[in-house]
Amino acid sequence: MNSEKFLEFVEKINQLNVKVKLGILVGIIVVLVGIYWYWFWSPKQEDIRALDLQIQKQTKVLTEYKTIEAQLPEFEKQFKELTVQYEAARRKLPTKQEIPGLIEAIYTAVSQSGLEPDTFTPKKEVRREIYAEIPVQMKVFGSYYTLARFFDNVSKLPRIVNVKNLQLSRPKGGGTSLQASFTAVTFRMLPQSEIQAQTKKGKGKKGSRKR
């Protein structure tokens, strides 16, 4: 549009009444606002909403961290207590080298209690996650008193020994003697090398099953 046509256009606008001029002005403003909203304001709003969501997530994480930080002294206290308990329990579990001596101590407890041994068969150890069970299948003969004394002697051993699957019966010959069949189980803590080897073995089995 050249200058003459522009002047003619301005002159025509000037000749219009006030209401028409206001209408044109309002229309121009609406168009400009629409253009600004579409090209500038709307995209910025999306960015603002995305930032708000990010801030909310970070605030939630920060709150969780502050909660953990506040509870940290209690966690440390509990960890120390559990460590002490673990060390105390670990000292009660025999090492691999001590197992033969412990089995011998269990057998000795039989004779010291006045029981008559019939079966004393150490079984293959059963491995768990961090420890192994060493069962000994036993059958003995004796009275209630001698049997109770045996269990008392076993409870006083320096290492943990549990008695499982206790079965009491009268021998066919009769009398006051009892036949007791049970499994004496002791435990040993697995060293880190055996735990790692066991973990790798377990992963290998899972991998072969998937194939």
Delineate the domains of the chain, giving CATH numbers in brackets: 96-190 (3.30.70.60)
Write out pLDDT tens, residues 151-207: 999 888 877 888 999 999 887 766 678 899 999 998 887 777 776 766 666 655 555
Model confidence over 66-119: pLDDT tens digits?
Answer: 888 888 888 788 878 877 776 666 666 666 667 788 888 888 999 899 999 898
Cβ–Cβ < 8 Å for 168, 182:
no
Q: How many CB atoms lie within 10 A of CB 2?
A: 7
Which pLDDT score, from 0 to 100, does residue 65 have? 82
How far is residue 121's CA from residue 147's CA, in Å, rounded to a whole number?
Answer: 18
Q: Is 188 exposed, middle or buried (0-12, 13-18, 19+ CB in 10 A)?
A: buried
Please write the tens of the pLDDT for every residue from 14-45: 666 667 666 777 677 777 777 766 666 666 66
